[in-house]
Amino acid sequence: EISACLVGSEMCIRDSTRTNPPNNDKLTELGTLMRSAILSAGGVAYTSQKSYDLYPTTGSADDWYYDNAAKIKLVYTFEVRDTGKNGFILPTSEIIPTGKENLAAFIVFAEYVKKQLDN
């Protein structure tokens, strides 16, 4: 019950609802842990927040994964390095550092899920 996708702008974005989902504490905790792992791995300070707090949105892939057929309860969209300067075209020099940051976040994500499953 996990999902993540990568796009651009240094964020770990979770659900897009106005109200908090029942597992909001877990989503917030995991987002903070992944943000810390990214910062430690590459020195870039990602933001962890609800997508609705960034811009009004509904019906996104995150919502579908969380609420519908898939029933995935830990859903994030990662917007990777670049805050708009290069659009969604990451400069070559940013590819490896971005990969290292996101690998660190994914490891935290996987360990968190394993811990949840073990309990």
Q: Verify whether residue 79 is a known catalytic residue.
A: yes
Q: What are the pLDDT digits (tens) for 40-71?
A: 997 788 888 777 777 666 666 666 666 665 55
Query: What's the pLDDT score for residue 74?
Result: 78
More confident residue, 61 or 107: 107
* C-alpha to C-alpha distance for 119 and 117, rounded to whole angstroms: 5
For residue 103, the surrounding DSSP H or E stretch is helix 92-118
Query: What's the pLDDT score for residue 6?
Result: 41
Q: Name the active-site residue from 1, 79, 101, 111.
A: 79
Question: What is the reported pTM?
Answer: 0.77
